[in-house]
Chain A
Amino acid sequence: MEHQLETIGRNMFAIFGVMALCGAAFMVASKSAVHSVLGFLFAMLCVAGCFLSLDAEFLGMAQILVYAGGIVVLFLFVVMLVELSKFKEKGVFQLQTRSAVIAVIVGGVAFLAAFRNLLFGAASPEALVLRPELAQGLAVAQQNAQAVSRGLFSDFLLPFEILSVILLVALVGAVVLAKTERV
């Protein structure tokens, strides 16, 4: 029992990752938009789990907050708003579906082939561990959130500020785009 738990703990990332893939596949495949959103939500939560198992606690929490708390709700709102029921008869998938799926699979296989050394070669089982001698920014941090914020507010300060402007622009743009036109 204990051994099994340990195994699960060790493979936490793989478990979450596979679950995320399942969620994503369900999202793409399901006919109803509401089901798609639920699949998306599941995938996002699993990705958050992946983040957590990679010791990125802050990002995992941010992922849950931003996606589950914000974006999915937004999607659900829009799904409710646009009454999708009347589009059902037109079919879910594009005409190009078959060729597209083939192309994606071919691309994916080619990608894996290209990186086969990295993925399946000698170096692949190397575990991802934090190498302290590289962790310059972590010198004064005890927690992940502290470390991330130090990175964010020292090296990434300018991108961070630009991001804030972009968010503002997106906000204004969204309002302008989505508002009903009144005279």
Chain B
Amino acid sequence: MTAEMTLVHAATTAASQPGTLLWLIPFLPLFGFLLNGLSGRKLKSTKVVDFFALGSVGVAFLLTLYYFIQLAGLPAEGRSIHQSLWTWFDVGGARVLGGLTTYKIQWAYKFDVLSGCMALLVTGAGFLIHLFSTGYMAEERNDGRYYRFMAYLNLFVFSMLNLVLGANIMMMFLGWEGVGLCSYLLIGFYFEKEFAAVAGKKAFVTNRIGDFGFMIGFFLIFQIFGSLDYDTLMGSVRAVAHLPAITLYGHTASPTWWFNLIGCCLFVGAMGKSAQIPLYVWLPDAMAGPTPVSALIHAATMVTSGLYMITRMNFIYVNAPVALAVVLAFGSLTAFVAATMGLAQYDIKKVLAYSTVSQLGFMFMGMGAGAFSAGMFHVFTHAAFKASLFLGSGSVIAACHHEQDMRNMGGLKKLMPITAMSMILATFAISGIFPFSGFFSKDEILWKVFEGWYQHGHYTGPTLNLVAWILGMLGAACTAFYMTRLIAMTFYGEYRGAGHDPHGLSVPSEAHGHDDAHGDPHDDHGHDDHGHAAPSHAAAHGHAAPDSHGHGPTEVSWRMWLPVSILAGLAVVLGFLNYPESLHRILPIVPSELFSKWIEPLLYQVAPAHHGEHVPPAIEYGLMAWATLVWAPAAMLLAWWMYKVDPSWSRAKAFVARFPVLYRWVNAKYYVDEFYEAALIEPIKRFSAQLWSFDTWVVDGVVNGAARATLIWAGLMNWVDEYLVDGAVDLVEYFVQETSGVFRGLQTGRVQNYAFVMFLGFLVFAFWKFLV
């Protein structure tokens, strides 16, 4: 088996095209990082930092686009550009299944149908978010940490590109850890604030738990396949799957069993990175970082790496039914639970964070149902609309002077029309309204899940699929509800900030923002300085529009609204890239299933796909119409009715008053954080403390107890001594004194004397052993 793998591997290495500039795509951001990180502090103008940061990512994007077009020109089977730079390390001689391997891990990049799309996403969204950051982080330009932020963002883009473009799992792992590190650095960017530092730590530790699973997973892959190259793995998986049994570590089981194990381990990794139950807790806290970070890392790119990994490893999952079921179960649970958590949040970024968790759950549902292309497609559409929403919320937060509580917003539609329009479009997309992109991706997932149970008219599939589908539908309704609620609270009604509060809804500002009025010396536009005149960022950045409102927020500068609107535009049209076959039959406006066909070469086919005529059943049309015409709009209208039609929110308040317990649980996110704190973190801390005090209590206790017992014993014995034993003791003592005088000389207290005696003892032993 090894020999045949080696052959496959040799073939793939030979296909490397060394002349290409593919390596520049990930390395350009790295150069940007090095330039900015090493020289940023010295640079006079932050414009230079902008130039390096934006330039490197921008050129990387153009290069990606170029290679993508090249890729599209290739025939479907050969759509892969491979570049091997150098041998990273040689693991030859390691013992794997079937003997010693001669495998060398290459530092290699592979630009294929999946990684190409992901690279486009990373560089494209990355560039827009870099652009947004130049506006959003404007006030950091003055206090010398601006270069640090941009450098971290570049490093993140490098790591993420490494993750998606790497040609083997080690390269992916390098990027995987790299994005974890960058996430830590960026969440804790304002590390002088304690909540940011704690959130960064939480994200890092939670991710490490996931990484552990991921590592076990790919170690097992290496043990079984003797290689980590995707091409080799793809090539040999069929042979491995047909082995009668695999024995590793003394355990013999069928290949399916091992694949299930690998799949579950890898999914643990995906859970951490992609924020699934039970490891999702870091993502909402990660909102402590600057908003562009939330958009780039925690909505658009990094959290999708788990999905990317599972799609890459689809050949494992297809052969691992149990692992797929686990993915489906956790995905659907996350999709629903996180969506309900979003219902009662007031922090605008928290709503979006839970929304992200929930949408990621949807993607995993798709993967779990075996529809990898549907799940991946939702990754892309979600990246567009969620990045748009996050950046839009960033604009709103910046315009409202780092106010994140939606109760203190409202009525912003009139004041920031472009941001409002973009976000409303993105909301339609995420809610799944036809023909916005969310409809195409989300309903495809839900349909695939349902199809798993429905099975062409026989309702005999696994019940799990039905349950997952119901959870997914509920989650979709919740999504539509909380997003409409967010829009209504933020953009409609009247502005409730800055002392205007017709309905008594606003709350004292919580210090979530980084530059709030807490005595920060750099707060050059704080409330106190300018009263309610409040020049927005736009004014600060040379936006020429006069401050016509006198108070309250105004539209932000073009650097900020441009990325938001571009992403919103994408969120509107992107869906047509995967136009469903069933709709194509009745409404052939664009070619159907472009994306699925594009990604198909990457997917492992259990059996040769039959390309016969496949009539979409009526039930598909029915569900589609139901979801987009009744289900989501109903939820949206409900939210509209509760929060817009009635500006005092009395209906929502009545509902809360009616079910106070429910509200409390949802608002407190089901106390999961508290549960972890109490059930995991506290015990570990306490255990450590106990280990620490083991010494004082047990070891010292034994000593002290012995001392006390001796004392009592001595007290008891005292009189016995004095009268009975003394005479005898005196006698004995006399002898002891006489004899011990001889031995006392031996106890010099010098270690070397003791060492000498030891050596003599050794000599005696040696003599006795060898000579006698």
Contact = CB atoms under 8 A, between A and B. Distances in A.
Is chain B in direct contact with chain A in the complex (CB below 8 A)? yes
Interface of A: 94, 96, 99-100, 103-104, 106-107, 110-111, 113-114, 137, 139-141, 146, 149-150, 153-154
B541 interface: no
B90 A146 contact: yes
B684 to A, nearest CB: 20
A137 B93 contact: yes
B756 A140 contact: no
Interface stretch (B74-82, B325-333, B759-767): B759-767
B767 A110 contact: yes
Given A96-B753, A96-B756, A100-B756, A114 B766 contact: yes
B591 interface: no
B417 interface: no
Interface in B63-90: 90
Contact of B752 (A96, A141, A150, A154): A96
A103 B756 contact: yes
A80 to B, nearest CB: 25
Given A104-B759, A114-B766, 18 more contacts: A94-B750, A96-B752, A99-B756, A103-B756, A107-B762, A110-B763, A110-B767, A114-B770, A114-B771, A139-B100, A140-B93, A140-B100, A140-B102, A141-B93, A146-B90, A150-B94, A153-B91, A154-B93
Contacts, number: 48
Contacts of A114: 766, 770-771
If over half of A's interface residues share one DSSP class (helix, strand or loop), that class is named, otherwise mixed; here it is: helix
Contacts of B766: 107, 110-111, 114
B771 A110 contact: yes
Contact of B93 (A110, A113, A150): A150
Contacts of A137: 93
Given A113-B771, A114-B771, A150-B93, A107 B756 contact: no
A137 B95 CA distance: 11
A104 B763 CA distance: 9
Nearest to A96: B756
B763 A106 contact: yes
B760 A153 contact: no
Given A114-B770, A140-B100, A107 B92 contact: no
A154 B95 contact: yes
A133 B770 CA distance: 33
Contacts of A140: 92-93, 100, 102
A137 B100 CA distance: 10
In this complex, the member of A106, A113, A150 whose beta carbon has the largest number of chain B beta carbons within 10 angstroms is A150
B457 to A, nearest CB: 55
Given A107-B763, A110-B766, A110-B771, A94 B752 contact: yes
Given A94-B752, A96-B752, A140-B102, A103 B760 contact: yes
B770 A107 contact: no
In this complex, the member of B93, B100, B753 whose beta carbon has the largest number of chain A beta carbons within 10 angstroms is B93
23 contacts: A94-B750, A94-B752, A100-B759, A103-B760, A103-B763, A107-B759, A110-B763, A110-B767, A110-B770, A111-B766, A114-B766, A114-B770, A137-B93, A140-B102, A141-B93, A146-B90, A149-B93, A150-B93, A150-B94, A153-B91, A154-B93, A154-B94, A154-B95
Nearest to A138: B93
A103 B92 CA distance: 50
A139 B426 CA distance: 61
- Size band of the interface chain B makes with A: 20 to 34
A139 B93 CA distance: 9
A153 B101 CA distance: 13
A126 B92 CA distance: 34
Nearest to B769: A114
Interface of B: 90-95, 100, 102, 750, 752-753, 756, 759-760, 762-763, 766-767, 770-771
A111 B766 CA distance: 8
A109 to B, nearest CB: 11
Nearest to A115: B770
Contacts of B763: 103, 106-107, 110
Contacts of B752: 94, 96
A139 B767 CA distance: 42
Nearest to A150: B93
Nearest to A141: B93
A103 B764 CA distance: 11
Contacts of B760: 103
Nearest to A136: B100
Nearest to A151: B93
A114 B760 CA distance: 17
A140 B753 CA distance: 51
A150 B767 CA distance: 39
A101 to B, nearest CB: 11
A106 B767 CA distance: 11
Nearest to B90: A146
A4 B750 CA distance: 51
Nearest to A107: B763
Nearest to A114: B770
A142 to B, nearest CB: 10
A49 to B, nearest CB: 28
Nearest to A153: B94
B91 to A, nearest CB: 8
Nearest to A108: B763
A103 B767 CA distance: 13
B593 to A, nearest CB: 47
Nearest to A104: B759
Contacts of B762: 107
A102 to B, nearest CB: 11
A153 B753 CA distance: 42
A154 B750 CA distance: 44
Contacts of B102: 140
A177 B91 CA distance: 38
B104 to A, nearest CB: 11
A112 to B, nearest CB: 11
Nearest to B93: A150
A107 B771 CA distance: 12
Nearest to A154: B95
B758 to A, nearest CB: 11
B166 to A, nearest CB: 22
A118 to B, nearest CB: 11
A153 B654 CA distance: 67
A103 B94 contact: no
Contacts of A141: 93
Contacts of A153: 91, 93-94
A103 B100 CA distance: 51
A86 B518 CA distance: 58
Contacts of A146: 90, 92-93
A104 to B, nearest CB: 8
Contacts of A106: 763
Contacts of A150: 92-94
B250 to A, nearest CB: 16
A150 to B, nearest CB: 4
A150 B89 CA distance: 13
Contacts of B767: 110
Contacts of B770: 110, 114
A100 B763 CA distance: 12
A96 B746 CA distance: 12
A17 to B, nearest CB: 23
A94 B92 CA distance: 53
Contacts of A154: 93-95
A41 to B, nearest CB: 24
Contacts of B100: 139-140
A94 B753 CA distance: 9
A116 B342 CA distance: 84
Contacts of B94: 150, 153-154
Nearest to B752: A94
A150 B102 CA distance: 11
3 smallest beta-carbon distances between A and B, as pairs? A150-B93, A114-B770, A107-B763
A107 B762 CA distance: 9
A150 B750 CA distance: 45
Contact of B759 (A94, A103, A111, A113): A103
